[in-house]
């Protein structure tokens, strides 16, 4: 048996999706994943429409709740905005990552190794899909985002008034997200500046935001509270041609989760990464991945500016409500086809 053509380190969404794309093209893949599935992961669990369409093209969609847009709330103001095209998904990460990893394991030519930490053996091409703290940042360094931020997430039942929109509450202490995960359960995620972070930050936000306090009186948490930090990174070089090394997913740069684009960015870039590996043209992948990452970072900066204080957020929602759909247009605009010049 000839050895693998590609070693992928990390079987999260980015690594599993790439393994599927490559395996189907006859490329032999070894897929290392140190965790045993299912496992929970700190995440807002929203997949934006452009990620949904990339995932649909790749493997089809899991049976999970759909969302048609966002509800942005700050102080007494709130604005509803639908996605201009398509819909988003709410993907509970323990189930979703297991589903995708199992699909990869069942793909021809993919040798999936769950519960196996990568220790250094490699094939012709090496792919770092090992997340934000990638071991490959030793040779392709990452620049941590500023301001330094912390994320929390958990699930709960008993929250009243949940709709088919992801709700985003801007507060001076941080942002809080609610999204339906199915069966009356919601995802709750909160993002904080380091300087404002406290371990009880999520419950403090629930108490401090009057609209939420009233809706969460019967709340019961159903999964442990998970934390992740520091959020966000920029990776100026995502390929090393001489070492035949390529980074995908968060390893290739993670937008601040305020944009909710990490998963979509990974799926939208999967075919580019597969094409680069098959054709040997790593440069085209790097250009397109950096352009996509830059767009997500620009949106992130804009949203972070709005979220800095509840008053500023409320002012924007009161006076700039008409801009919110435009903002969503840009955030979830379909990606150009990979045959178009980049």
CA-to-CA distance for 182 and 222, rounded, in angstroms?
13
Nearer to ligand FAD, 43 or 209 (CB): 43
Q: How many residues does the chain have?
A: 342
* Contact indicator for 45, 181 with CB cutoff of 8 Å: yes
**CA pseudo-torsion sign 23, 49, 308, 228:** negative
CA-to-CA distance for 121 and 144, rounded, in angstroms?
28
Work out how close the CB of 17 gets to ligand FAD at its nearest, in angstroms, rounded to a whole number.
8
Per rule CB under 6 A, is residue 250 in the interface with ligand FAD? yes
**Stretch of 37-45, 64-72, 276-284, 295-303 lying at the interface with ligand FAD (CB under 6 A):** 37-45
CA 58 to chain centre: 17
Per rule CB under 6 A, is residue 299 in the interface with ligand FAD? no
175's tokens: 């942002």
Work out how close the CB of 150 gets to ligand FAD at its nearest, in angstroms, rounded to a whole number.
8
* Contact indicator for 79, 324 with CB cutoff of 8 Å: yes
**Stretch of 30-38, 289-297, 303-311, 330-338 lying at the interface with ligand FAD (CB under 6 A):** 30-38
Grouping H, G, I as helix, E, B as strand and the rest as coil, residue 329 is helix
* Contact indicator for 269, 20 with CB cutoff of 8 Å: no
Q: How many CB atoms neighbour CB 13 within 10 A?
A: 30
CA-to-CA distance for 27 and 146, rounded, in angstroms?
39
Number of residues lying near ligand FAD (CB under 6 A)? 40
Binding mask 313-332 for ligand FAD (x = CB under 6 A): --------------------
Nearer to ligand FAD, 12 or 293 (CB): 12
Per rule CB under 6 A, is residue 43 in the interface with ligand FAD? yes
CA-to-CA distance for 92 and 187, rounded, in angstroms?
8
Per rule CB under 6 A, is residue 262 in the interface with ligand FAD? yes
Largest CA distance in the chain: 65
**Stretch of 36-44, 69-77, 167-175, 275-283 lying at the interface with ligand FAD (CB under 6 A):** 36-44
Per rule CB under 6 A, is residue 14 in the interface with ligand FAD? yes
Residues between 108 and 137 with contacts to ligand FAD, criterion CB under 6 A: 117-118, 129-131, 135
Nearer to ligand FAD, 159 or 235 (CB): 235
Residue numbers at the binding site for ligand FAD (CB under 6 A): 9-15, 32-35, 41-47, 117-118, 129-131, 135, 151, 153, 189, 228, 231, 249-251, 254, 257, 260-264, 266
């Amino acid at each position: 048996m000839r050895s693998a053509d590609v070693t992928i380190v990390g079987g999260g969404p980015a690594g599993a999706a790439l393994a599927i794309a490559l395996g189907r093209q006859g490329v032999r893949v070894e897929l290392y994943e140190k965790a045993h599935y299912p496992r929970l992961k700190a995440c807002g669990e929203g997949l934006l429409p452009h990620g949904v369409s990339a995932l649909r093209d790749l493997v089809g969609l899991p049976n999970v709740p759909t969302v048609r847009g966002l509800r942005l709330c700050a102080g007494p103001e709130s604005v509803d905005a639908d996605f201009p095209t398509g819909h988003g998904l709410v993907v509970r990460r323990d189930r979703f990552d297991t589903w995708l990893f199992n699909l990869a394991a069942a793909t021809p030519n993919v040798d999936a190794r769950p519960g196996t930490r990568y220790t250094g053996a490699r094939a012709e091409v090496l792919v770092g899909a090992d997340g934000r703290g990638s071991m490959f940042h030793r040779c392709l360094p990452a620049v941590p985002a500023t301001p330094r931020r912390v994320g929390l997430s958990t699930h709960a039942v008993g929250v009243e008034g949940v709709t088919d929109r992801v709700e985003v509450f801007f507060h001076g202490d941080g942002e809080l997200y609610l999204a339906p995960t199915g069966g009356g359960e919601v995802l709750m995620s909160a993002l904080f500046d380091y300087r404002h972070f406290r371990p009880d930050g999520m419950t403090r936000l629930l108490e401090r935001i009057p609209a939420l306090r009233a809706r969460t009186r019967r709340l019961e948490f159903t999964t442990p509270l998970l934390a992740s930090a520091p959020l966000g990174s920029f990776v100026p070089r995502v390929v090393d041609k001489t070492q035949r090394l390529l980074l995908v997913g968060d390893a290739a740069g993670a937008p601040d989760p305020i944009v909710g684009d990490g998963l979509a960015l990974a799926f939208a870039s999967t075919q580019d990464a597969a094409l680069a590996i098959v054709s040997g043209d790593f440069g085209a992948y790097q250009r397109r991945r950096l352009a996509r990452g830059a767009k997500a970072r620009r949106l992130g900066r804009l949203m972070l500016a709005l979220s800095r204080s509840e008053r500023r957020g409320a002012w924007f929602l009161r006076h700039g409500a008409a801009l919110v759909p435009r903002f969503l247009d840009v955030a979830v605009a379909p990606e150009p086809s990979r045959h178009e010049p980049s």
